């Protein structure tokens, strides 16, 4: 165990990124990251973060390394604050060595904060000797970085909004092998976003569409859960696309407005609508950036990829199926 001049237990966790079908945009409580509404997502198999953590009384300070890049000062502060939460819960004071690796390039347009904070939560809790139920791990991950809580449970996941911290947790709706849904990410811009989701959503309430979004979202949650239960793809896709457009309407009309889309984003959206009209079942969703996630069933992936090849302005594509949630591995990133 940790402390008294010795090294602690080294623990490593792997956690996936996730794509939301019903989006999180706006909070009830800024400090605790309690969201304004519940959200629903799918874990992404090919976009994972691996993190190794060890607490030891021989470390003079926390060291935090990213194998394929470096963390900004702000990112380092957020990680250290998260380690403090774990230390406080475990009743230890040892500093930690944290090494992190992403399986996907920053330029892929997938935020690494969800997979990153999910892996950090799992690895650091285990390294501190804590044995926490999954619900509590999702609550801790949420306080680190909102949507990270959805990367802990298996497969298709719901994050309950809740009023209090202990009510705002994530749980699995269906396991990862329940339905062969694919996310074909169309990367049209590889630069990182100028305004982070955390900062952007602080102004969500200034949009005239905010109240309407909040009014409609509970209905969409019920409908999309039913579509998932029934594996009704056209209903599922229609609702996730509606929710994406609802979130972006809020973004574009908040004060100051957030315009994440570029020309290639618009072109991709119009083509998804056209392909659908021509008989290819595909729908789109977009996060806080210009890249387009095209959602289809496994049987249609090849045809979709061929169609995407005809688009202009595409820099790369990344195909993901549904994945299990965060888990511990015995393969560490350092010895």
Interacting residues toward ligand PMV by CB under 6 A: 20, 23-25, 39, 111, 113, 145-147, 197-198, 287-288
If one counts every other C-beta atom within 10 angstroms of the C-beta of residue 211, the result is 10
The nearer residue to ligand PMV, 198 or 214, going by C-beta atoms, is 198
Q: Least Å distance between CB 232 and ligand PMV?
A: 22
Q: Least Å distance between CB 91 and ligand PMV?
A: 29
Give 297's strand partners.
Answer: 181
The nearer residue to ligand PMV, 12 or 41, going by C-beta atoms, is 41
The nearer residue to ligand PMV, 56 or 145, going by C-beta atoms, is 145
Distance CA 317, CA 96 (A): 36
**Coil/strand/helix, residue 163:** coil
Q: Least Å distance between CB 129 and ligand PMV?
A: 28
278 DSSP 8-state letter: T
Q: Least Å distance between CB 249 and ligand PMV?
A: 13
Q: Least Å distance between CB 150 and ligand PMV?
A: 8
Q: Least Å distance between CB 13 and ligand PMV?
A: 18
Distance CA 287, CA 196 (A): 11
Q: Least Å distance between CB 234 and ligand PMV?
A: 22
The nearer residue to ligand PMV, 307 or 322, going by C-beta atoms, is 322
The nearer residue to ligand PMV, 109 or 237, going by C-beta atoms, is 109
Length of the chain as a residue count = 335
The nearer residue to ligand PMV, 12 or 197, going by C-beta atoms, is 197
The nearer residue to ligand PMV, 146 or 290, going by C-beta atoms, is 146
Tell me whether residue 163 is exposed, middle or buried, using C-beta atoms within 10 angstroms of its C-beta: 0 to 12, 13 to 18, 19 or more: exposed
DSSP 180-207: -EEEEEEES--SPPSS-HHHHGGGGGGS
Distance CA 276, CA 213 (A): 25
Tell me whether residue 192 is exposed, middle or buried, using C-beta atoms within 10 angstroms of its C-beta: 0 to 12, 13 to 18, 19 or more: exposed
Type and span of the H or E element at 212 = helix 210-230
């Amino acid at each position: 165990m940790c402390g008294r001049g010795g090294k602690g237990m080294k623990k490593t966790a792997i956690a996936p990124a996730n794509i939301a079908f019903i989006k999180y945009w706006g909070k009830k409580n800024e400090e605790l990251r309690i969201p304004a509404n519940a959200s629903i997502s799918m874990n992404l198999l090919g976009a994972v973060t691996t993190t190794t953590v060890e607490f030891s009384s021989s470390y003079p300070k926390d060291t935090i390394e990213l194998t394929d890049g470096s963390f900004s000062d702000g990112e380092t502060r957020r990680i250290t604050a998260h380690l403090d939460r774990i230390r406080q819960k475990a009743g230890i004071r040892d500093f930690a060595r944290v090494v992190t690796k992403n399986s996907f390039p920053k330029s892929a347009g997938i935020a690494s904060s969800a997979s990153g904070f999910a892996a950090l939560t799992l690895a650091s809790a285990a390294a501190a000797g804590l044995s926490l139920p999954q619900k509590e791990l999702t609550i801790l991950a949420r306080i680190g970085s909102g949507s990270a809580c959805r990367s802990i449970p298996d497969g298709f996941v719901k994050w309950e909004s809740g009023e209090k911290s202990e009510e705002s947790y994530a749980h699995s709706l269906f396991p990862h092998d329940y339905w062969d849904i694919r996310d074909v990410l169309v990367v049209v811009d590889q630069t990182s976003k100028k305004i982070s989701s955390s900062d952007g959503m602080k102004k969500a309430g200034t949009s005239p569409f905010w109240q309407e979004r909040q009014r409609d979202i509970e209905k969409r949650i019920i409908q999309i859960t039913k579509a998932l239960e029934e594996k009704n793809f056209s209903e599922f896709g229609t609702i996730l696309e509606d929710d994406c457009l609802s979130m972006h309407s809020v973004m574009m009309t908040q004060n100051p407005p957030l315009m994440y889309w570029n020309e290639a984003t618009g072109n991709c959206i119009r083509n998804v609508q056209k392909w659908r009209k021509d008989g290819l079942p595909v729908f789109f969703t977009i996060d806080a950036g210009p890249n387009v996630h095209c959602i289809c069933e496994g049987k249609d992936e090849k045809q979709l990829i061929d169609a995407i090849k005809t688009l202009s302005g595409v820099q790369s594509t990344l195909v993901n199926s549904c994945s299990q949630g965060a888990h511990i591995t015995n393969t560490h990133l350092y010895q």
